[in-house]
């Protein structure tokens, strides 16, 4: 859809920093040189805090929250369970094509994306406890990813500290679920319209709380 609308995708291309001048964002600096832009949307997941313009206050405190997730396979058309199963230690999703997804660990390990024995063991055991037939399934894969977390677990969506800067990050466990809402808010901001972003998502809330805490002594 982006390309059909005349957009270009430059990937993989790492952004090294944001360019700011005259009180507004003017573009980004990349490994391949500068790219001018009237607006920059920082949607760099767990790395978003590294892309805050310097000298404009602390960036939203986004950190990586590691998640490991497993896939197994059973016979297609005969799911082990018809509904999503959620326990305090895991969730199990049985798809029609036979895939069974078991998720997910929540770990504070920085930018580590290794799949570990403990992660796999704990998820399998937790799923097996509520659905013993999991033990009969064919193993497919284990993966690990990073969720962009914030101190209050709410996303960071809205205008930044300088004109033209927009944050769309910090979605933690709900980035897929919240993609339509985030896209709607970002599109409205780009069009110069009033966006109906929930106040709980305001990018400046952490800085405001930090300053309030300092004043309260």
Ligand X SMILES: Cc1cc2nc3c(=O)[nH]c(=O)nc-3n(C[C@H](O)[C@H](O)[C@H](O)COP(=O)(O)OP(=O)(O)OC[C@H]3O[C@@H](n4cnc5c(N)ncnc54)[C@H](O)[C@@H]3O)c2cc1C
Rounded Cα distance between 132 and 142, Å, is 19
Footprint (CB under 6 A) of ligand X, residues 146-175: 146-148, 169, 171-175
Which of 98, 103 has the CB closer to ligand X?
Answer: 103
Q: What DSSP string runs through 63-81?
A: EEEEEEEEEEE--TT--S-
- Number of residues interacting with ligand X: please give it, by CB under 6 A: 24
**Binding residue (CB under 6 A) for ligand X from 76, 84, 177, 200:** 177
Q: How far is the CB of 43 from ligand X (least distance, A)?
A: 5
Q: Which parts of 82-204 fold into alpha helices (H)?
A: 117-130, 179-190
User: What are the Cα distances from residue 163, in Å, to 169, 204, 213?
Assistant: 18, 14, 27
Footprint (CB under 6 A) of ligand X, residues 9-28: 14-15
Part of the chain binding ligand X (CB under 6 A), chosen from 74-82, 141-149, 157-165, 196-204 = 141-149
Assess 44 for contact with ligand X (CB under 6 A): yes
Question: What is the chain's Cα-based Rg?
Answer: 21
Which of 109, 159 has the CB closer to ligand X?
Answer: 109
Assess 103 for contact with ligand X (CB under 6 A): yes
Q: Which parts of the chain fold into alpha helices (H)?
A: 117-130, 179-190, 205-216
**Spatial CA neighbour of 60 closest among 140, 171, 164:** 171
Which of 26, 71 has the CB closer to ligand X?
Answer: 71
Which of 50, 216 has the CB closer to ligand X?
Answer: 50
Which of 26, 150 has the CB closer to ligand X?
Answer: 150
Contact predicate 204/161, CB 8 Å: yes
For ligand X, the binding residues (CB under 6 A) are 14-15, 43-47, 51, 67, 69, 103-104, 145-148, 169, 171-177
């Amino acid at each position: 859809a982006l390309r059909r609308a005349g957009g270009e995708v430059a990937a993989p291309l790492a952004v090294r920093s944001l360019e700011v001048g005259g009180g507004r964002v003017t573009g980004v600096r990349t490994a391949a040189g500068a790219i001018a832009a009237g607006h920059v949307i920082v949607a760099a997941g767990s790395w978003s805090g590294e892309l805050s313009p310097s000298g404009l206050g602390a960036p939203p405190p986004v950190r990586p929250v590691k998640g490991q997730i497993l896939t197994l396979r059973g016979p297609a058309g005969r799911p082990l369970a018809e509904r999503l199963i959620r326990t305090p230690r895991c969730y199990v999703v049985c798809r029609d094509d036979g895939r069974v997804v078991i998720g997910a660990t929540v770990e504070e390990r920085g930018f580590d994306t290794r799949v570990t024995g403990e992660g796999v063991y704990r998820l399998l055991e937790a799923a097996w406890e509520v659905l013993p037939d999991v033990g009969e399934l064919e193993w497919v894969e284990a993966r690990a990813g990073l969720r962009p977390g914030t101190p209050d677990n709410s996303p960071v969506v809205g205008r930044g500290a300088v004109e033209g800067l927009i944050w769309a990050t910090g979605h933690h466990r709900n980035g897929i679920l919240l993609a339509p809402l985030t896209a709607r808010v970002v599109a409205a901001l780009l069009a110069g319209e009033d966006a109906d972003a929930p106040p709980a998502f305001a990018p400046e809330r952490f800085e405001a709380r930090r300053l309030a805490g300092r004043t309260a002594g």
